[in-house]
Amino acid sequence: MKVRFALTAVALLLAQQSYAKDQQPSLMQAEAVATTTSPANASQAYQALDAQAVAALRSALQGDSSKLTQEQVDKAKQSKTQADYAWLKASGYDFQTKANQQAGIELLSGFSALPQSVLDENLKTVTAINLNATQGARNQAVADADGISYLYFLADSLGPRLGKAFITAYDKGELSKAAALLKASEVSTSAAKKHFNYLRPFLIKGNSIHLVPDEVILKDGKPYGADGGSFPSGHTNTGYTDALLLAEMIPERFDAIVERGARYGYSRIVLGVHYPLDIMGSRMLTQRNVAHYLNDPKYRALFIEARDQLRAALEKECGASLAQCAQNDRAADPYRSPEMKTFYRYTMSYGLPQQKVANTKVKVPQGAEVLLEFALPNLSAAQRRALMVQTAAPAGYPLSGSTPDQAFWQRLNLPAAYAQAKGHH
């Protein structure tokens, strides 16, 4: 009996340490899910929420002007009613942008060592997603892009009931502290873009990318483009930061809102202006940056003040508790469908080649468990760290680099960790 137990233990250990070929979700599966989280969703309630968000965005962009222009989109900023800049400035908080930017460059250093075969697949994948995207996905991608300076895009991850309350409270200035803090917490990717100097996919010689015309916000029919370096994605950094911080404030919708961050990144590929690697890199940066901020007592105090204001405002506008407002009819709430977990898992690697490496357990950096603290307050720090280890994606995918921190932030699957703790997958 003892001999058999010893042999079994050795076999398990070898299996854990050996290369594990991962069965990734397919691009076809991801495309189907992405379409349900666009204006093409069949639910009238979801369509109404999407239309409300787009209308509110266009109104905010246009302001008092007689016509909405590209210049207004390019120079857009939340109004002083929407965002309490004075409150944030009075706090004197130092976001340490340059230090965080440098930390981000180091975190993504594995990009420079990627083989050409991975970069080739990177271009093939963006081309496939871009050319096969449905009209609904394209319309969503344009709205996501033009709405980068605002928070309207987050509404659909809240579901029709809470999403409507969010838009109303946002425009009334009732969650102004959160609006200011979320935007200020976006660590610019400009330094990393200059460092890695990666050409955008639609600029590669001989590419077949289709640039998507704007038929949603500006409605001028002109193709959406972008300039500057491609890696990592600035828009994804923005969308994922906003989503992750809001998810921390509304744990009743934690996984759904985090998945909206991944969906926002997917939109950049639909437009053909970013590669999968750009999106994956920005997810890594955002997770690291948000954890860094939430572990700072001074930032945390601002976060809690903003969160409390936001939660009170949403309950007021919704007319019920957040737990009640967070519930919706399944058909009208695609971000709560089980398929979203599959979509999120796809966006962690986008089907790029998995290298043959030992499938070792991830090592959780000090303080990283804070990302599950507000969502799972009844668990200890050790339990949250264990969840992160148990639900991490397999090793060997691009950008997992050569350090424990690089591997962790690339393999961290927050929605899966949350779902496992809640007992639903």
The model's pLDDT over 10-69, given as tens digits with 9 standing for 90+, comes to: 333 333 344 456 677 888 999 999 999 998 899 999 999 999 999 999 999 999 999 999
pLDDT of 241:
98
pLDDT of 96:
97
Extract the residue ranges of the chain whose pLDDT is less than 70: 1-22, 424-425
DSSP letters for 352-392: PPPP----PPP-PPTTGGGGGTTTSTTS-HHHHHHHHHHTP
Four-point Cα dihedral 65, 69, 70, 74, nearest 10:
10
- 3-state DSSP helix/strand/coil percent for the chain, to nearest 5? 65, 0, 35
Q: Which of 100, 279, 89 is nearest to 188 (CA)?
A: 100
pLDDT of 16:
39
CA distance 116 to 352: 12
Write the CB contacts of 21 (distance below 8 Å, at least 6 apart in sequence).
354
pLDDT of 382:
98
pLDDT of 11:
35
Q: What is the CATH number of domain 27-348?
A: 1.20.144.10
| Every domain of the chain and the residues it spans | 27-348
Q: Which of 109, 422, 398, 183 is nearest to 279 (CA)?
A: 398
Q: What is the pTM of this model?
A: 0.94
pLDDT of 291:
98
pLDDT of 424:
63
pLDDT of 331:
85
CA distance 323 to 36: 24
Is residue 46 within 8 A of residue 334, CB to CB? The reply is: yes
